[in-house]
Structure 1
Amino acid sequence: MSTPTILEKIYAQRAKDVELAKSTPGTTPADIAALLASHLAPPLIPLVSRLARNPSTDGNTPSPSLMAEIKRASPSKGPIAPNANAAAQALTYALAGASVISVLTEPTWFLGSLLDLRLVRQAIDTLPDRPAVLRKEFILDEYQIAEARLHGADTILLIVAMLPVERLRALYTYSLSLGMEPLVEVNNATEMQTALDLGAKVIGVNNRNLHDFNVDMSTTSRLVDMVKDRDVILCSLSGISTPADVQLYQAQGVRAVLIGEALMRAPFPSTFIRELLNWPSPSSSSSPQDSDEHEKPLLMISGITIIEEAISFISEEGVDMLGLVFDAQNQNEDSIIDEPNDFARNLAIYRRSDPRYFAPRTFPPSSDPAPWFAAQKRNLLATAVRPLLVGIFRNHTLPEIIHTTAAVKLDLVVLDDSVPLGWIKHIPVPVIRRFRAGTDLRNAEIALPGLHSFVLLEQEKGKDLSAVVDVVGRGEAPGWPMPVILGGALTEESLKEALGTIRPWAVEISIEEGVEESMSPSEMQKLIKVVKRA
């Protein structure tokens, strides 16, 4: 009797694992089917169109899309990154520009789990144009596909070498019935023909032979011609670790590359991805978040209560943002809260009165995978009509915030960092979260992408800017340096220092009465002049 190959060993173990899961109360096939029928699976995105949006590196040839893998271990290499946090790794990949995040869920040899899959999906779920999530698994039963769909996968892997043709076809058809176009994996010409006969739209050539786990990087190259002139996205899987590998496959027409071990071992994955795929780095990008070091910061005046006051600041000071304070415990009878529709209507009329000043800025299109906060700033400045109307909410419930946002036609909303994070995804406009610069900002949620769009740092009276500089300074984490709005107890001297060090993209000056940050008209004028001269 021959010794079973590695693939055969894995298949046998997974078959046992699946049968155990199917017989466990709460995860039986009937349970999974009922949960899917209850629409508890999160929405999916189509794999083919997500992979098709390849950025161009030279203005002509599209760059291969990146399928970034989360893999703690493997049968051939043993432990790779056993302590890796799947959710954090996925977020790093997503912000670096990955089109697909592959999550290995096999527990015995790869140290993965369905929990990894679910947490990866949750970590990237609120990102705009999020990557597709792939369940990388040894799938032999429809049950595993239903599990994948329930836990947030957009696609699954089907391995031709592991499955009889009829079983492969049945699993492919079932996956399509759940809306998931599978990634079909092959390793030789016979398997490639099987995948083509199946009608697969996304085919991955595994450079690693799953029977002995040896890697041959020419495997992809030998099979490229079989998909030429076909409506198929060809992907290269396994062993890719250098820019030369990617360039070779790109020249041959490969449209996506899957990177696992090399990414898991990279100390700075975002930098590694840029170098591997020849994507522009933030420092050399032509996108506005990286080229506006000397651009004047926007001016935001907060504490506006009546339309005449707002128009005065617009016409005389040319403000970019108007901050309207809504305090549920201290409503002023003359406040715009009492007549929100009139305020919004009058402001809209005034906005249209001078289109030269209030037109959105225009920027050249960029395919760079921009970090979350830089992308939020770019999108806002490229589309918004100034002056932006900003609602500053205190002591309100979520329904009250949503209602007022719609009634006043707010462009942005400011919330304190004490407001529950779960509120943010229900608010229909971008959210600015306010943090005090004296708090432990490194441990706060200031740099949490995917929820709030902007950060307002309040300078505390008598405090220096060291804490703020530490937070927004350059680093290897995605999104640094952070574009921030600076506010709080500013003085002429501290503002000049801030403009020279942290370069905020906007400055908030508060004229609200009865709060610590309010100031006299003369102090306010000094600060406005500093901003205008920046």
Structure 2
Amino acid sequence: MSTQNGSVKSNGAPSILQKIYAQRRQDVEQAKSTPGTTPADLDTLLSLNLAPPVISVVDRLKSGPKPGLMAEIKRASPSKGDIALTANAASQALTYALGGASVISVLTEPKWFKGSILDMSLARRAIEALPNRPAILRKEFIFDEYQIAEARLHGADTVLLIVAMLPTPQLKALYSYSIGLGMEPLVEVNNATEMQTALDLGAKIIGVNNRNLHDFNVDMGTTSRLADMTAGRDVILCALSGISSSEDVRQYIDQGVGAVLVGESLMRATDTTAFIRELLCLPPKTEAETLRPAAPLGKVDGVSTPEEALQLAKEGAGLVGVYLSPEHKQAVSLKQASQISLALRQLRPNKVVEFDSVSKETPNESWFHAHARRTASVLNVTSVPLLVGIFSSDSSLDNIVHAAHCAQLDAVQLSASAPLHWASHIPCLVIRSVPASANLRELQQVQKPGLHHFVQVEFDGEPGAVNAQALVGQWGVPVILGTKGVIGESQIAALTEGTRPWAVCMSIEGYKSAKA
């Protein structure tokens, strides 16, 4: 056992840190000797680029709220015992991310902290589709390059290196290895000697742990006493442990602290999002009406001529749909779709349009909220409907992509049976059509973020539509209400009231009939 600051406590008994270190050495050796997770296996997996993309934790902390919040997922600890054993890492991570966290710290030590590398992997996957996701920190007792490679492979953007636990040569080697994988480590210190070691190392993020890892006692003044050592340096100073109120945070801000790590208080909070806002002195979070606006957009399908499209644009339609599968009775050719596209594009402003400015400090929002907001913003500026190419289940991915490029489609609409992953290959917005009578699994599947951007639910009068209406009304997804199988304005009004859709769709015949 090699620790920089003493090998045993004054009474000769091993410290808590040493007990954890000894156990983790056994755990790591077992993992390294297990077929499939050997160091050579990890090197191969990394060389295959299987690790998810990394973001700069330094940039993330500098661009978010001040101070940055490192929100920790921690089920238990040696000092506090069980904290939140039933906590779900993925759900907690998403709550932290949408609440305003800049970094999500995931404890992956299993015996004392009840964590795992799977927790970190699932936390990363839960926030993957967010437009401004927090960085993921592997909070672990790291002493081996293997643990850093493992962290990178499972989605970490940064790792923790504890000066108290590592001889200086080993600390330097681990720091360099982490940098080589694109991860700037969080270097943890507890006293002036360790702080100087971290500064000499060139660390850009230094965390002062208010908790002494040998006896786990907390002294909130530890960060305050060391703050001056980073003054004037290009270093993000972080206060770790013991922080439970906005008063604690304000005190540290005045001392130059750029980020705070909070774990237990967040895990015990009744309303996690409200507590985050309170900690960071941010206004209460309100959800914009991007998914369910008071006045839904209009979508008209079956348009076949530029004249029809221009008339719909004049009358305020938000989306215009053209059928591009030859077997459809209202199908248009690619040439006709291109003519419709050109007619609509000529209506768009021919000068530079001033959009609302967007910075890296834009608060996080869900995948679906982000696309609904951006699309609505574009429509508000241009006042020209989006052109949607509608494809059947017989359409191939190559045909869809070809049509999107040739006709300069703004969006494509896929059938319910089209593979979910196709959306990642399509160079424009994607709407997925699904019947309201679909089974529960199918209806849940279309709520997965990171794939399509909107869901069109076709209410066709089937018995299952009643249940679907209640379900869809609770979705966190922008829904286009398909009314082609619904008879009568009163039924459409009832469905609209129950689902509060982002847009309401009808056929060109139905639209003309309603106008007559």
- Shorter-chain TM band: 0.7 to 0.9
Tell me which amino acid in the other structure corresponds to 1:176. I
Residues 130, 366 of structure 2: 8 Å contact kept: no
Structure 1 125/303 Cα, relative in aligned 2: closer, same or farther at 3 Å? same
Task: State the distance in 2 between where 1:213 and 1:87 align.
Answer: 28
Q: Using the TM superposition, give the Cα deviation of residue 349 of structure 1 relative to its aligned residue in structure 2, in angstroms.
A: 4.4
Tell me which amino acid in the other structure corresponds to 2:411. L
Tell me which amino acid in the other structure corresponds to 1:507. V
Structure 1 96/413 Cα, relative in aligned 2: closer, same or farther at 3 Å? farther
Structure 1 462/521 Cα, relative in aligned 2: closer, same or farther at 3 Å? farther
Which runs of 5 or more structure 1 residues have no equivalent in the other structure?
56-62, 474-478, 512-517, 527-534
2:88 aligned residue:
85
Q: Using the TM superposition, give the Cα deviation of residue 497 of structure 1 relative to its aligned residue in structure 2, in angstroms.
A: 4.6
Q: Using the TM superposition, give the Cα deviation of residue 69 of structure 1 relative to its aligned residue in structure 2, in angstroms.
A: 1.9
Tell me which amino acid in the other structure corresponds to 1:109. W
Task: State the distance in 2 between where 1:496 and 1:331 align.
Answer: 28
Residues 163, 187 of structure 2: 8 Å contact kept: yes
Tell me which amino acid in the other structure corresponds to 1:101. I
Task: State the distance in 2 between where 1:306 and 1:152 align.
Answer: 49
Residue pairs, 1:3-402, within 5 angstroms: 3-55=13-65, 63-283=66-286, 289=290, 294=294, 296-315=295-314, 317-327=315-325, 330-332=327-329, 335-336=331-332, 338-340=333-335, 343-344=337-338, 346-353=340-347, 355=349, 362-363=355-356, 367-383=362-378, 385=382, 386-395=384-393, 396-402=395-401
1:461 aligned residue:
461
Task: State the distance in 2 between where 1:520 and 1:151 align.
Answer: 51
Q: Give the alignment's TM-score, normalised by structure 1.
A: 0.83
Aligned to 1:449, the other structure's residue is in SS state: coil
Q: Deviations over 1:143-198 (max 9, x none)?
A: 11111122221111101111111111111111111111101111222211111111
Q: Deviations over 1:62-94 (max 9, x none)?
A: x22222222222212222222333223223322
Q: Using the TM superposition, give the Cα deviation of residue 258 of structure 1 relative to its aligned residue in structure 2, in angstroms.
A: 1.9
Aligned to 1:423, the other structure's residue is in SS state: helix
Structure 1 471/219 Cα, relative in aligned 2: closer, same or farther at 3 Å? farther
Tell me which amino acid in the other structure corresponds to 2:109. E
Q: Give the alignment's TM-score, normalised by structure 2.
A: 0.86
Task: State the distance in 1 between where 2:388 and 2:310 align.
Answer: 15
Task: State the distance in 2 between where 1:39 and 1:265 align.
Answer: 37
Residues 465, 498 of structure 1: 8 Å contact kept: no
Q: Using the TM superposition, give the Cα deviation of residue 2 of structure 1 relative to its aligned residue in structure 2, in angstroms.
A: 0.7
Tell me which amino acid in the other structure corresponds to 1:197. D
Which runs of 5 or more structure 2 residues have no equivalent in the other structure?
1-10
Task: State the distance in 2 between where 1:438 and 1:249 align.
Answer: 55
Q: Deviations over 1:347-390 (max 9, x none)?
A: 2344224639x997954758333343222211122345531112
Q: Deviations over 1:43-79 (max 9, x none)?
A: 2111111111123xxxxxxx22222222222212222
Q: Deviations over 1:244-285 (max 9, x none)?
A: 2223223333222222222223344333322332333343x7
Tell me which amino acid in the other structure corresponds to 2:407. V
Structure 1 502/41 Cα, relative in aligned 2: closer, same or farther at 3 Å? closer
Task: State the distance in 2 between where 1:151 and 1:472 align.
Answer: 35
Aligned to 2:431, the other structure's residue is in SS state: strand
Q: Using the TM superposition, give the Cα deviation of residue 301 of structure 1 relative to its aligned residue in structure 2, in angstroms.
A: 0.7
1:507 aligned residue:
504
Task: State the distance in 1 between where 2:389 and 2:412 align.
Answer: 5
Residues 70, 104 of structure 1: 8 Å contact kept: yes
Moved more, 236-245 or 153-162: 236-245
Aligned to 1:175, the other structure's residue is in SS state: helix
Task: State the distance in 2 between where 1:68 and 1:425 align.
Answer: 30
Structure 1 354/425 Cα, relative in aligned 2: closer, same or farther at 3 Å? closer
1:493 aligned residue:
490
2:5 aligned residue:
none
Q: Using the TM superposition, give the Cα deviation of residue 231 of structure 1 relative to its aligned residue in structure 2, in angstroms.
A: 0.5
Aligned to 1:404, the other structure's residue is in SS state: helix
Task: State the distance in 2 between where 1:266 and 1:325 align.
Answer: 51
Residues 61, 102 of structure 2: 8 Å contact kept: yes
Tell me which amino acid in the other structure corresponds to 2:189. V
Task: State the distance in 2 between where 1:17 and 1:74 align.
Answer: 18
Q: Using the TM superposition, give the Cα deviation of residue 212 of structure 1 relative to its aligned residue in structure 2, in angstroms.
A: 1.4
Structure 1 205/361 Cα, relative in aligned 2: closer, same or farther at 3 Å? same
Tell me which amino acid in the other structure corresponds to 1:335. A
Q: Using the TM superposition, give the Cα deviation of residue 470 of structure 1 relative to its aligned residue in structure 2, in angstroms.
A: 5.8
Aligned to 1:394, the other structure's residue is in SS state: coil
Q: Using the TM superposition, give the Cα deviation of residue 495 of structure 1 relative to its aligned residue in structure 2, in angstroms.
A: 4.1
What's the % identity of the aligned pairs?
Answer: 54
Q: Using the TM superposition, give the Cα deviation of residue 140 of structure 1 relative to its aligned residue in structure 2, in angstroms.
A: 0.4
1:59 aligned residue:
none
Residues 279, 368 of structure 1: 8 Å contact kept: no
Aligned to 2:101, the other structure's residue is in SS state: coil
Moved more, 501-510 or 223-232: 501-510
Aligned to 1:212, the other structure's residue is in SS state: coil
Task: State the distance in 1 between where 2:50 and 2:190 align.
Answer: 36
Residues 100, 133 of structure 1: 8 Å contact kept: yes
Structure 1 4/431 Cα, relative in aligned 2: closer, same or farther at 3 Å? same
Q: Using the TM superposition, give the Cα deviation of residue 448 of structure 1 relative to its aligned residue in structure 2, in angstroms.
A: 3.1
